[in-house]
Structure 1
Amino acid sequence: MASDAKAAAKEVQVEPFPLSTLRHSVSHLMASAVAKLYPNVKFGFGPSIEHGFYYDLEIPEHSLEEKDLRRIEKEMRKIAKRSPELVRTSLSRDEARAQLAAQDQTYKVEAVDLIPKDEEITFYTHGDWSDLCEGPHLDRLDRDYHFKLLSVAGAYWRGDEKRPMLQRIYGTAFWTQEALDAHLAWLEEVKLRDHRRIGTDQDLFSVHPEAGAGFVFWHPRLGVVRHEIEKFWWEEHEARGYKPVYSPHVSRETLFAVSGHLENYGEMMYPAMDLEEQPYRVKPMNCPGHSLIYKDRGRSYRELPMRWAELGTVYRYEKSGVVHGMLRVRGFTQDDSHIFCTPDQLAGEIAGVLDLVKLMLTTFGFDYTAYLATRPVEKSIGEDAIWKAATAALGEGAKLAGIPLELDDGGGAFYGPKIDFKVKDAIGREWQNSTVQCDFNLPERFDLEYTDSDGQKKRPIMIHRAVLGSLERFVGGLIEHFAGRFPFWLAPEQIAVIPIREEHADYARSLAAKLEAEHFRVDCMDDPSHMNKRIKQAQERQVPYMLVVGEREEADGTCAVRRRGTRDQAVVPFERVLEVVRDLRSRRSLEVPALDT
């Protein structure tokens, strides 16, 4: 009884400090260990982050490797025992700068200058090591917790590629060994799902130094996946009254001055190209082009709402340090749409967009959370009254669509508030995805009008929306969500037909022809290699179904069906296979079920 009570008490025990405080403190412990092991280290920033912590360091004449992390961990444990107490002190700005300058901590001197004038300047010290930091931290470093250093990477000081490259050590910490072990297992799963590794293994996409960082080349197998997604996308848009439009990739710079992008988004735009003594820019967004199409002639209230859609490729200058596979790129295709409507139509149009978002995300198997992002403190345009009206319309539309909203205060675009969707993948990670943005400002900037029923000229309201976001980021996320095992309707090859021996190849080819006649993606693997080798190749390519055929199957009109990831085979009439795969495709099912008679 006593032991049960003790176990129950441990179960509900509240940790003395938040996990973020523990991780921040361990980042300081790690930095002090690096200072002991390597001379003349200069320190950058060392915050806690979502799954752990990092510290940026300049270590003269030494480039850290993964093997060095174990040595640093050992020193961390020694320091935690020898100098456990963390002491907070406060200094004036001049005192702090002088102390850090005397230690030749140039990055920390710069950090002092970043602290607002009215904020206290504090240091945390354990043993003989002290760090400029606002905290909070643990009171002692010898508390019961568990940590591990994970990796080393490069990081520009303050994220600026024109500043020095520092060495960044990543780590994590938990209050229990069980939690740490679970997290390390999760990290292994993240590695296995890395879309860059899967992209190489399955011949899906590539990036090339010759083209520059951040530009993705889709290979035929992933091109098939994209094509299926685009077909689905257009099917649903056309059913909802959207019309296709197309806008140029390059326009005069003055277009983006009118739209406000040059002023508010200029650091993300590619430099101007001088053509015939006029500066031109590649487009960072599609909305200015769609505004020009609307403005090309007079519009009547009878035409509204107008729903226009474009799978438009845009270009944004992402710093090289943040470019990452398909997930953070410099050129990408946005599933962009703009709706022009009257104030009375606004909430209903937003609700219609949100219904489409729900359909698309659930079709791909995603759970999601929707956030209402309000006016940013910096870099926004338009009057407060307009922002309030737009924000209220988004809330009303979400209510009509039955979608609860969480608040993202200050997270809106520079031209208007928005609803952002974050999806949760198969291993619990959140991805930024769909967005719906209400804009009263671009119609004003482009002087867009319609003639109302009373004969008066009025401004339309513009809704910006992307259901999938960018196709590159969405498909890269899908690869990781499915771990490269696409559902049947999306799979690059849906079915592999594998004859046991060469004399069964004609029957295999006849089955493949019947499947191809119904537009299934089929690979008839009738080369002379051993059957088991061909099965292995199909498994490695994550083909959902393998139809193995021999003498008995040919005589009976059947096939031995093997699902990917299994060794089990069921002998099934070929007509039954057709029946099942037709159904999976028509429903866009996420399942790859076993086939039986």
Structure 2
Amino acid sequence: MLYPDGSLELVGNAKLDRRSPLARMVGYETDKQRTAKQEPPHIKLMQQLELVDREPGSDQGNLRWYPKGVLIKRLLEEKVGRLVRSAGAMEVETPEMYDYHHPCMEKYLARFPARQYRLLSGDKPYFMRFAACFGQFLIASDAQISYRHLPLRLYELAHSSYRREKSGELAGLRRLRGFTMPDMHTLVGDLPQGLEEFGYQYRLSMEWMDSLGVPYEAAMRAQQEFFDENRDFYTGLAKLLGRPMLLELFDRRYAYFITKFEFNVVDTQGKAAAMSTVQIDVENGKRFNIEYVDHDGSRRHPYVLHTSLSGSIDRNLYALLEHAAAEMARGAKPQLPFWLAPTQLRLLPVSSTHTDHCLKLAQTFAAAGFRVDVDDRDAGIGRKVRDGEKEWVPLLAIYGEKEAASGKLALRDRTGGQSELSPEALQTLMEERQGEEPHRPLPLPVRLSLRPKFYG
């Protein structure tokens, strides 16, 4: 364990609360048991909320996404895209399959065999990418790069990536065979510049994780000699985090990286799943013949930082749903962040005579950038409230004769409490909760009576 004061302690000697996320992550990492013995609760939640489901017509671990799930996915993608672009990344797009016998690929795959999907085009073998590394490395190897361009950041929303995980390890959104990975690679001239960029991307990753509102723990890995030479740097990262982190030190490199970190979420079953991660790669700049011209005119191979500030988009939804399941187990109402809620406000007309006004209000709120629907079904108000609760709609607003007379809506807030608000005050409330987060329109018809049922 590495503590914020810089001290180290063997995991076996650390006095951790066995119920804490950190202790459970440590147990998961030391146990190395990756097989899921029972179905995690987020699977039932993703189905009941009509977000995602298994696809029996495809290979295991390749899922179907319903409209509400696609909405959440696109919002997460847009948010992480904003973050990497604000960090100076240039967005590219690369193929999903690669020549298995390409000289660079063959060397890479021989050293680091992965669980690949393979296919033939005629008699020529290809593999489906499991990250955007290959395409970005090939772009960089053909580019003319100066030391003045460093650090140079390339980014791709790798939609999709494929990894043929063992069937026993597949568990809903936690581990998939087909997934979406926001993937950034940064070229740096030397290790001091690499550490500076590593620290910067560590802070960006913290910003991402904090914005989700999901508890997370850190795991750091480093070659012993490199750690000893840069111990103050690592202590600074632990201090920035403000709590202990798991530290793995190794004498000989077993992979291409000299150091890496992961921010992990720990689910209701005690399984840890990596989200944000950054690695300093000391091999692939040379392997893929990436070069830059240094200030003295010499040609050098850069080091490469492999980065996903968010981890896979699919796993982010897993983290949110598992956190909600934990809240349910504690007796709290589960909910998604307001900006990710498929319906942010549902208007509940008391009778059919109030439906037209609710539809006009919905149109006004939608024009202001919010996702608002109207429960126009022939059902009692109690049923409409219960159904809104089951869908985790954050705001339910009742409109009937009383509300028509007062000019205010009877609001039920999922975060707690009831109130009466004018449409203007309600819009102000939604603006405060939305903040500067990305927004997209409602993914389904405004009228609930016009919606198909995708699950159950």
TM-score by length of 2: 0.79
Deviations 1:525-567 (A, max 9, x none): 122322222222111111000010112322332100012386x
Separation of aligned partners in 2, 1:285 and 1:255: 16
- Which of 533, 538, 545 lines up with 2:388 in the alignment? 538
Opposite residue 146 of structure 2, the aligned amino acid is S
Q: How does 1:256-271 map to 2 (within 5 A)?
A: 258=105, 260-271=107-118
Q: Partner letter of residue 136 of structure 2?
A: H
Classify 1:465/1:392 alpha carbon distance in 2 versus 1 (closer, same or farther; 3 Å). farther
> Is the aligned partner of 1:363 residue 2:211?
yes
1:331 and 2:178 matched: yes
Shift of 1:477: 1.9
- 1:358–1:204 distance in 2 versus 1, CA, 3 Å: same
Task: Give the counterpart of 1:569 among 406, 413, 418.
Answer: 418
The one-letter amino acid of 1:281's match is: F
Is 1:517 equivalent to 2:358 in the alignment? no
Task: Provide the residue aligned with 1:492 in structure 2.
Answer: 342
Give the match's secondary structure for 1:468. coil
Distance, in Å, in 2 between the alignment partners of 1:256 and 1:550 is 71
Aligned letter for 1:562? Answer: R
CA distance in 2, matches of 1:249, 1:359: 29
Query: In structure 2, the residue corresponding to 1:353 is in which secondary structure?
Result: helix
Distance, in Å, in 2 between the alignment partners of 1:319 and 1:256 is 28
Select the residue among 240, 258, 263 that pairs with 1:402. Answer: 240
Task: Tell me which residue corresponds to 2:163.
Answer: 316
Cα distance change, pair 366–243 in 1 and its aligned pair in 2 (3 A): same
SS of the equivalent of 2:203 reads helix
Q: Does 1:280 align with 2:120?
A: no
Question: Structure 1, residues 455-491: CA drift from partner, whole Å, max 9, x if none?
Answer: 1111111000112221222211211112352121111
1:504 is aligned to 2:374: no
Aligned partners of 1:287 and 1:338 also within 8 Å: yes
Please tell me whether the aligned partners of residues 396 and 412 of structure 2 are also in contact (alpha carbons under 8 angstroms): yes
Give the residue type in structure 2 aligned to 1:415. Y
CA distance in 2, matches of 1:474, 1:531: 34
Inter-partner Cα distance in structure 1 for 2:120 and 2:350: 63
Following superposition, the deviation at residue 329 of structure 1 comes to 1.0
Identical counterparts, % of pairs: 27
- Please report how far the alpha carbon of residue 254 of structure 1 lies from its aligned counterpart in structure 2 after TM superposition: 2.4
- Supply the distance in 2 between the matched residues of 1:233 and 1:388 (Cα, whole angstroms): 34
Task: Compute the displacement of 1:195 (Å).
Answer: 1.0
Tell me the equivalent position of 2:289: 447
Equivalent-residue separation in structure 2 for 1:576 and 1:261 (angstroms): 58
Contact 2:412 2:419 in 1 (8 A): yes
- In structure 2, the partner of 1:456 is 298
**Is 1:437 aligned to 2:285, yes or no?**
no
Distance 1:509 1:327 in 2: 39
Q: Which moved more, 1:486-495 or 1:257-266?
A: 257-266
Going from structure 1 to structure 2, the CA distance change for 1:394 and 1:299 (only over 3 Å counts) comes to farther
- Residue ranges of structure 2 left out of the alignment (5+ in a row): 1-25, 326-333, 439-456
CA gap 1:319/1:227 in 2 versus in 1, 3 angstroms: same
Q: Distance in 1 between matches of 2:95 and 2:232?
A: 34
Distance 1:584 1:394, change over 3 A: farther
**SS of equivalent residue, structure 2 residue 369:** coil
Aligned-pair CA distance for 1:334: 1.2
User: Are the counterparts in 2 of residues 347 and 397 from structure 1 also a CA contact under 8 Å?
Assistant: no
**Corresponding residue for residue 298 of structure 1:** 144
| Aligned residues of 1:315 and 1:331 also touching (Cα < 8 A) | yes
Aligned equivalents of 1:289, 1:482: Cα separation in 2 = 37
- CA distances 1:211-256 after superposition (whole Å, capped 9, x unpaired): 1211111111111111221121112222111111111101101248
**1:279 partner letter:** P
Alpha-carbon distance between aligned partners in 1 of 2:154 and 2:228, rounded to the nearest angstrom: 22
The one of 420, 431, 434 equivalent to 1:582 is 431
In the alignment, the residues of structure 2 paired with residue 563 and residue 246 of structure 1 have an alpha-carbon distance, to the nearest angstrom, of 42
Q: Considering only CA atoms, is the larger Rg found in Structure 1 or Structure 2?
A: 1
1:207 is aligned to 2:54: yes
Aligned residue for 1:576, secondary structure, equals: helix
1:292: how far off? 0.4
Following TM superposition, by how much is the alpha carbon of 1:278 offset from its aligned partner in structure 2, in angstroms?
2.2
Match for residue 42 of structure 2? Answer: 195
Structure 1 regions of 5+ residues with no counterpart?
Answer: 1-48, 55-154, 160-167, 171-189, 376-386, 590-597
Give the direction of change, closer, same or farther, for the CA distance of 1:552–1:426 in structure 2 (3 Å limit).
Answer: farther
Distance 1:338 1:256, change over 3 A: farther
Per the alignment, residue 447 of structure 2 pairs with: none
Which residue, 468, 471, 481 being the options, matches 2:310? 468
SS of the aligned residue for 1:357 comes to: helix
Partner of 1:419: 261
Q: Is the 8 A contact 1:346 1:393 kept in 2?
A: no
- Matched to 1:503, the amino acid is T
The amino acid of 2:256's aligned partner reads Y
How far off its partner does 1:430 sit? 4.1
Matched to 2:205, the amino acid is V
- Whether contact under 8 Å (2:279, 2:305) holds in the other structure is yes
Q: Deviations over 1:92-118 (max 9, x none)?
A: xxxxxxxxxxxxxxxxxxxxxxxxxxx
Q: TM-score, normalised by structure 1?
A: 0.61
- Please give the secondary structure, in 1, of the residue aligned with 2:385: helix
User: Quick one: distance in 2 between partners of 1:406 and 1:513?
Assistant: 50
Q: Residue by residue, what CA displacement relative to the aligned partner does 1:137-159 show, whole Å, maximum 9, x if unpaired?
A: xxxxxxxxxxxxxxxxxx9xx98
CA contact (8 A) 1:398 1:405 kept: no
Structure number with greater CO (CA < 8 Å, separation at least 6) is 2
The range that moved more, 366-375 or 228-237, is 366-375
Preserved contact between residue 80 and residue 309 of structure 2 (Cα < 8 Å): no
Question: Which of residues 65, 81, 88 in structure 2 aligns to 1:234?
Answer: 81
Matches within 5 A, 1:124-135: none
Amino acid paired to 1:357: S
Contact 2:146 2:293 in 1 (8 A): yes
**SS in structure 1 of the partner of residue 164 of structure 2:** coil
1:89 aligned partner = none
Quick one: structure 1 residues 284 and 338, their matched pair in 2 at CA, closer, same or farther if it must change by over 3 Å?
same
